[in-house]
């Protein structure tokens, strides 16, 4: 496995977890070293996409400001007001954040607006603690997984934490009628070195069977728009999120081709023992 501090443009071939990011593959696969901010900004032009904040500012990746305090207090506000996304080079976490902006621009803009609005409300009311809504937005931004399925019983199995029934006994149905799309850039970073226990924060959506006949770019646009609407109109707290043992999805690790893999209760926890 690669050293997590070293650039390796072949990371997308490590796992199907990275499937959404493959739309960016042609722009990074031949790079011999880490992409600079210039490359990340050029990618938007090459892909012919417009990425804007909800305040109407075009997104640009700019050098990161030093200090932890900046990230805790000013990062989201800076993005919303200026469109400038502070980005560290030679850093997997920020690199994946830049790619997620490329793939899920509507959802990322919605998350940023939610953060900005809640920061203002918390400041005006002199609230010292982050709101539940802002916590939920952070979970999606860092570890979010969008789950879509055209079979309601599969969604119900997931809600009930019936992991073995879903991923093993209903394996063919899961592969045919359920998809996981990672949006959390922190989760992408963890997926460079996947490990038992790696868990996402899931948002679950019903879709029509026709969704699975769409090509990948169209699927991602559909998911992006659907997630944007949910964030702006329905997201309330962490209770909207469902734990997702990411390496349970068929084929996302070689080990899950064996039935016994799903007997690990420390990973595939029963509902009563699980905490988001």
DSSP assignment of 19-85: GGGGGGHHHHTT-SSPPPHHHHHHHHHHTT---B-TTSPBPEEEEPPSSHHHHHHTHHHHHHHH-EE
Residue 19 to residue 21: CA distance in whole angstroms = 5
pLDDT confidence tier of residue 153, bands split at 50, 70 and 90:
very high
40-44, 65-69, 271-275: which is most confident: 40-44
- Residue 36: is its pLDDT beyond 90? yes
Summarised one tens digit per residue, pLDDT across range 105-139 is 999 999 999 999 999 988 787 777 788 999 999 99
264 Cβ contact list (under 8 Å, min separation 6): 196
Assess contact for 167 and 230: CB atoms under 8 A: no
CA gap 189, 142 in Å, rounded: 10
For the chain, what percent of residues have pLDDT higher than 90? Answer: 81
DSSP letter, residue 241: -
Query: Rounded to whole angstroms, how far apart are CA atoms 147 and 155?
Result: 8
Question: What is the band of 275 on the pLDDT scale with cuts at 50, 70, 90?
Answer: very low
Task: Compute the Cα dihedral for 148, 269, 191, 89 and give only its sign.
Answer: positive
Q: How much is the pLDDT for 274? A: 46
- Per-residue confidence (pLDDT) for residue 130, from 0 to 100: 80
Predicted local confidence at residue 3, as pLDDT: 62
The radius of gyration of the chain's CA atoms, rounded to the nearest angstrom, is: 19
> What does the DSSP assignment read for 115-142?
HHHHHHHHHHTT--S--HHHHHHHHHHH
Percentage of residues in the chain having pLDDT higher than 70: 94
Give pTM, 2 decimals.
0.93
The whole-number average pLDDT for the span 213-229 is 97
């Amino acid at each position: 496995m690669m050293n997590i501090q070293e650039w390796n443009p072949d990371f997308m071939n490590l796992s199907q977890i990275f499937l959404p990011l493959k739309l960016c593959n042609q722009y990074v696969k031949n790079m011999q070293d880490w992409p600079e901010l210039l490359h990340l900004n050029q990618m938007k032009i090459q892909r012919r996409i417009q990425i804007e904040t909800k305040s109407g500012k075009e997104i640009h990746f700019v050098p990161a400001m030093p200090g932890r305090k900046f990230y805790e207090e000013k990062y989201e506000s800076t993005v919303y007001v200026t469109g400038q996304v502070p980005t560290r080079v030679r850093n997997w976490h920020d690199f994946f954040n830049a790619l997620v902006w490329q793939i899920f621009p509507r959802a990322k803009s919605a998350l940023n607006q939610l953060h900005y609005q809640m920061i203002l409300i918390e400041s005006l009311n002199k609230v010292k603690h982050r709101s539940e809504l802002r916590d939920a937005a952070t979970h999606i931004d860092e570890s979010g997984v969008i789950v879509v399925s055209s079979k309601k019983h599969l969604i119900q199995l997931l809600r009930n934490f019936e992991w073995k029934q879903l991923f093993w006994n209903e394996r063919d149905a899961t592969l045919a009628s359920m998809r996981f799309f990672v949006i959390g850039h922190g989760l992408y970073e963890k997926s460079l070195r996947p490990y038992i226990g790696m868990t996402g924060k899931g948002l679950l959506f019903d879709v029509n069977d026709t969704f699975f006949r769409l090509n990948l770019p169209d699927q991602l646009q559909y998911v992006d728009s659907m997630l944007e609407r949910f964030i702006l109109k329905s997201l309330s707290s962490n209770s909207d999120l469902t734990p997702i043992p990411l390496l349970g999805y068929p084929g996302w690790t070689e080990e899950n081709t064996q039935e016994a893999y799903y007997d690990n209760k420390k990973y595939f926890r029963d509902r009563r023992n699980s905490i988001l």
